């Protein structure tokens, strides 16, 4: 925390107020450094859907909403099986195609960001490069987890006789993806949405 110090060596009331009300990232585990938040502070989350910004920000946020929703549904299906609410065949019929679709869409999403958007944003704001490097490394970790999830799903598609060990392994991978995704998406939004909202044209 930095405060402006006045000549008599006391923090000015204005600086104290500014510090108190400065927006902070939306989750306590945010990995974004304070100096990367200069755009976030200009366009905090409560303004992302404002009339002046929503037409520029809502597309990206909607994609993330859909990712979170698909991930939540997969976890719900897996939990329903683990708790005995779904039998083996119901579990397989609900989850197999959904995992295929989710993995495919997430790989595509990461590719578009790594190859298109992120390099463009770094050219616009070179001082954010390190932040985007965190996000790019997240994609590598996520893609490895998604490959694992896909391999488990492929095995599930071939396994007509109940295999509880496989289902537990798949459930754990889903939990791992959920944890990393939730941190990644929030950090990405805090970095990217203000760029999109404040972009001219
Ligand atoms: Fe991403
Ligand atoms: Fe994204």
Measured in whole angstroms, the distance separating CA 4 from the mean position of its chain's CA atoms is 34
Question: Structural domains in the chain?
Answer: 59-198 (1.20.120.520)
What is the Å distance from ligand 2's center to 30 Cα?
16
- What is the structure's pLDDT at 9? 43
What is the Å distance from ligand 2's center to 165 Cα?
32
Contacts 24+ apart (CB under 8 A), 90-95: 91/167, 92/156, 92/157, 95/153, 95/156
Structural tokens at position 138: 């997240």
Residues near ion ligand 1 (CB < 5 Å) are 113, 188
Q: Is the dihedral of CA 18, 21, 24, 29 positive or negative?
A: positive
> CA 186, CA 190: separation in Å to the nearest integer?
6
201 residues of the chain, pLDDT tens digit each = 333 333 444 445 555 455 555 556 777 789 999 999 999 999 999 999 999 999 999 999 999 999 999 999 999 999 999 999 999 999 999 999 999 999 999 999 999 999 999 999 999 999 999 999 999 999 999 999 999 999 999 999 999 999 999 999 999 999 999 999 999 999 999 999 999 999 986
What is the Å distance from ligand 1's center to 192 Cα?
10
DSSP state of 142: H
């Amino acid at each position: 925390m930095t405060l402006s110090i006045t000549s008599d060596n006391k923090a000015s009331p204005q600086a104290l107020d500014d510090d108190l009300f400065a927006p902070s990232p939306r989750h306590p585990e945010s990995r974004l450094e304070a100096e990367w938040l200069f755009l976030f502070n200009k366009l905090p989350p409560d303004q992302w859907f404002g009339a002046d910004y929503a037409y520029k920000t809502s597309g990206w946020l909607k994609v993330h909403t859909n990712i979170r929703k698909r991930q939540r549904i997969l976890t719900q299906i897996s939990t329903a099986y683990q708790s005995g609410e779904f039998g083996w065949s119901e579990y397989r019929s609900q989850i197999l195609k959904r995992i295929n679709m989710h993995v495919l869409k997430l790989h595509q999403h990461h590719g578009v960001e790594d190859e298109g958007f992120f390099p463009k944003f770094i050219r616009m704001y070179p001082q954010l490069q390190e932040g985007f490097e965190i996000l790019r490394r997240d994609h590598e970790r996520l893609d490895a987890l998604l490959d694992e999830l896909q391999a488990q799903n492929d095995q599930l598609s071939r396994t007509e006789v109940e295999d509880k060990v496989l289902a537990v392994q798949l459930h754990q991978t889903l939990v791992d993806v959920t944890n990393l995704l939730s941190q990644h998406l929030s950090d990405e939004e805090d970095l990217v949405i203000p760029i999109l909202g404040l972009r001219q044209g």
